[in-house]
Structure 1
Amino acid sequence: MATKRMRPSGTWEYIVRRKGILPKPLSLTFDTEAEGDVYVRRLEQMLDAGILPEDLVERRSDLITVDDAIRSYMTKVSLPSSDASLLNALVGRWRSHPLTGVDYQWAEGWVKTMKRKDILAPSTIRHYVGALARCFDWVVRSGSPSLATNPLRLLPKRYATYTDEDTAAVRVQDKAPKEDIHRDQRLMPDAEAVVRRILAGEKPESRQRGPELNYRPAMVFLFELAIESAMRMREMYTLELGQVDVDRRTVFLDKTKNGSKRQVPLTTVAIRAFENYVDAVKDEDPEMSGFEFDGGRLFPWWDGSRDRKVLAGVSVRLSGQFGRIFDAAGCGQVTFHDLRHEATSRLYEKTNLSDIQIAKITGHTDIKMLMRYSNLRGSDLAERLW
């Protein structure tokens, strides 16, 4: 319970103590006892739940816990959706852990927990660590006395890879350790031809009917745009008509996964597919019934909401629909995201662009990550040899 006393000036002083959340007693002053009782009662309820109110974070940076740092960072910094999703998953995990207790041993312990208790894939561990590391970078730059250095930046290379000890700890639980899965799935020419025929409305062989194609012209254009531009699914279906510049053969993306803006050049194939699609909508193609460009949206599946759950729902539905198309085409192992792999690989195969130039097209900020997408076929490489 907080202690309170009336000062000679007539104001009321309250002293609040909470070990593990407040590094030192917090002194608050109010004009009246009634005002102080109401505020402190609410404050103590939040502290009991391990939550430090934002107004205290603003006033006393030395009072920030890990959870408060995450909340403050998400409030004050414009984050890409990927980081926001990861940090939202971490909110509440360290509600009462002070930043003063964040050191290298804490960082190592967290990584060990993700491997031995949560049994996460190394790539997932790196995503979580990367998102929180960027949050801690912001805290350090803010000059908080509670966190002078970022211990997550001190983790060694391959920190997310399961060691022999990690593996043994996981197997004791009758579970298997996770390994990185580097997808190298390519859309082979024969399978691509079948996919195009199905998208054109042809019934797959050995099937009584083909998959249902809602807004078929839009599905055709989305497929062509994906395989010609290397854009991510969400980057495409959230496009507005005004973002496509036919004369300059570019698409301007102002909201991407990593938060940066970029211009994506379009091939003549993509431009032709765009024009065919626009004609279908404007000519009131029956298969696009109910959709028009009045709202500015390029595709019909998205209502313009930026709510993460809405976006995730659209992504799931489109992924499922294309999954059924690929399955009907006999290449069910291919996913829609593999089209980004395919498009990136074709940039390497069909152009003389440098890694940096290709990264500007695809939006990769890490060249190592880009190389995971450039899955060049061994047979194609062999043809270039003497």
Structure 2
Amino acid sequence: MATKRMRPSGTWEFIIRRKGILPKPLSLTFDTEEEGDAYVRRLEQMLDAGILPEDLVARRSELVTVDDGIRSYMTKVSLPDSDVSLLNALIGRWTGQALTGVDYQWAEGWVKSMKRKDVMAPSTIRHYVGALARCFDWVVRSGTPSLATNPLRLLPKRYATYTEEDSAAVRAQDKTPKEDEHRDRRPSANEEKAIRRILDGEKAENRQRRAELKYRPAMVFLFELGIESAMRMREMYTLDVTQVDVGRRTVFLDKTKNGSKRQVPLTTVALRAFEDYVELVKGGDAEMDGFNFDGGLLFPWWDGSRDKKVLAGVSVRLSGQFGRIFDAAGCGDLKFHDLRHEATSRLYERTSLSDVQIAKITGHSDTKVLMRYSNLRGSDLAVRLW
């Protein structure tokens, strides 16, 4: 319970103490006792539940809990949308957890919980750990005495891979352990031809009628751009016409997944596909259903909203549409994101660019991640041997 007293001035002072949540007693002043009682009652209910109101976080001189660190980090640092989403999901997971208690055992226990309780895929575990590790790096650099070192950086390699004990614990719940799968699916030359035939409006041999493709020219161009540029789907369908520089054969991306800007060079194939698409749109092609470039957007599916739900909705619809196209072409296990994998692999196969140079094109901030995309075909490597 809070203690209270009336000051000589007639105002009321309330003192609130909560070990582990408040670094020191909190003093609040109110004009009347009734006003103070009402406010403090609500505040204590929240503190008892381990919740610290945002206005109190701003008053505190140091970061105390994990949630403090996450909220402060998200407020003061410009983050990519992917990290924002991950950190928002973590807020409240450790209600009242003091940063002073965040050590290696805590980090190891969290990873074990994601495997044995949540049964997450190793890649998902790495995403969560990576986002919080970057947050804790910032907390450590901020100089708070609550967290001197970042224990997440001490986790061993392959920490996200399920051990035999992890797998046994998961199976005991009648669940299946998740394996670390790195996709290396690439479309073959025949599959590419089959996909282009479907995009051109041909009927698949195993179908009774042609696929219905609204904005077909845009679908054709998006496919060509994806397999030639290594851009992500969202990076492409949110493009503005002015971001494409034909003279310099580049696309300037000012909003990417990891928050950095980059220029993407265009192959002659991608440039020709762009020019063909622009000509069709400006010529009022009937299959574009009245879409034009007056609004500045290059593609017709997105309305310019940065709302995450809107963007996610567009991505889901396009992924589903291309999934049906790939299925009709006889390669139903192919995903649109595999085109980025294919384009990146081609950069390794067809150029002498270094890892760093290719990373600048693809936007990979970690070359270790980039190497997962560079699965060169064994047959292509074999012909280079003596």
Aligned length in residues: 386
Distance 1:208 1:299 in 2: 29
Deviates more, 1:12-21 or 1:29-38: 29-38
Q: Which position in structure 1 is the counterpart of 2:281?
A: 281
Q: TM-score, normalised by structure 2?
A: 0.95
2:325 maps to a residue whose letter is I
Are the counterparts in 2 of residues 51 and 68 from structure 1 also a CA contact under 8 Å? Answer: no
Are the counterparts in 2 of residues 229 and 267 from structure 1 also a CA contact under 8 Å? Answer: yes
Note if 1:126 corresponds to 2:126: yes
Are the counterparts in 2 of residues 66 and 99 from structure 1 also a CA contact under 8 Å? Answer: yes
Q: Which position in structure 2 is the counterpart of 1:88?
A: 88
How far did residue 283 of structure 1 move? 1.1
Partner-residue secondary structure (3-state), 1:294? coil
How far did residue 232 of structure 1 move? 0.5
Deviates more, 1:234-243 or 1:35-44: 35-44
- Residue correspondence of structure 1 range 302-381 to structure 2 within 5 A: 302-381=302-381
Q: Which position in structure 2 is the counterpart of 1:293?
A: 293
RMSD of equivalent CA atoms: 1.7
CA spacing shift, 1:120–1:142, aligned 2, 3 Å: same
Q: Which position in structure 2 is the counterpart of 1:166?
A: 166
Are the counterparts in 1 of residues 116 and 170 from structure 2 also a CA contact under 8 Å? Answer: yes
Q: Which position in structure 1 is the counterpart of 2:195?
A: 195
> What CA deviation, in whole Å up to 9, does each residue of 1:192-223 have, x standing for no partner?
00101111111111211132211111101100
Q: Which position in structure 1 is the counterpart of 2:147?
A: 147
Q: Which position in structure 2 is the counterpart of 1:264?
A: 264
Q: Which position in structure 2 is the counterpart of 1:218?
A: 218
- Residue correspondence of structure 1 range 225-236 to structure 2 within 5 A: 225-236=225-236
How far did residue 50 of structure 1 move? 2.6
Distance 2:335 2:241 in 1: 26
How far did residue 79 of structure 1 move? 1.3
Q: Which 5+ residue runs of structure 1 have no aligned equivalent?
A: none
Q: Which position in structure 1 is the counterpart of 2:36?
A: 36
Partner-residue secondary structure (3-state), 1:156? coil
How far did residue 81 of structure 1 move? 1.3
1:152 maps to a residue whose letter is L
How far did residue 251 of structure 1 move? 0.8
Distance 1:185 1:35 in 2: 65
Note if 1:6 corresponds to 2:6: yes
Q: TM-score, normalised by structure 1?
A: 0.95
Deviates more, 1:320-329 or 1:135-144: 135-144
Q: Which position in structure 2 is the counterpart of 1:241?
A: 241
Distance 1:237 1:299 in 2: 6
> What CA deviation, in whole Å up to 9, does each residue of 1:13-47 have, x standing for no partner?
21112344224432223455455345434433432
2:192 maps to a residue whose letter is E
CA spacing shift, 1:206–1:321, aligned 2, 3 Å: same
Deviates more, 1:37-46 or 1:142-151: 37-46
Deviates more, 1:191-200 or 1:31-40: 31-40
How far did residue 357 of structure 1 move? 0.7
Distance 2:74 2:311 in 1: 19
Deviates more, 1:56-65 or 1:181-190: 56-65
Partner-residue secondary structure (3-state), 1:94? coil
Deviates more, 1:22-31 or 1:121-130: 22-31
1:109 maps to a residue whose letter is G
How far did residue 93 of structure 1 move? 0.8
Partner-residue secondary structure (3-state), 2:131? helix
Distance 1:149 1:307 in 2: 36
1:71 maps to a residue whose letter is R
Distance 2:61 2:291 in 1: 51
Distance 1:227 1:198 in 2: 16
Are the counterparts in 2 of residues 215 and 287 from structure 1 also a CA contact under 8 Å? Answer: yes
Deviates more, 1:357-366 or 1:48-57: 48-57
CA spacing shift, 1:63–1:136, aligned 2, 3 Å: closer
Instruction: Report sequence identity in percent.
Output: 83
Q: Which 5+ residue runs of structure 2 have no aligned equivalent?
A: none
Partner-residue secondary structure (3-state), 2:280? helix
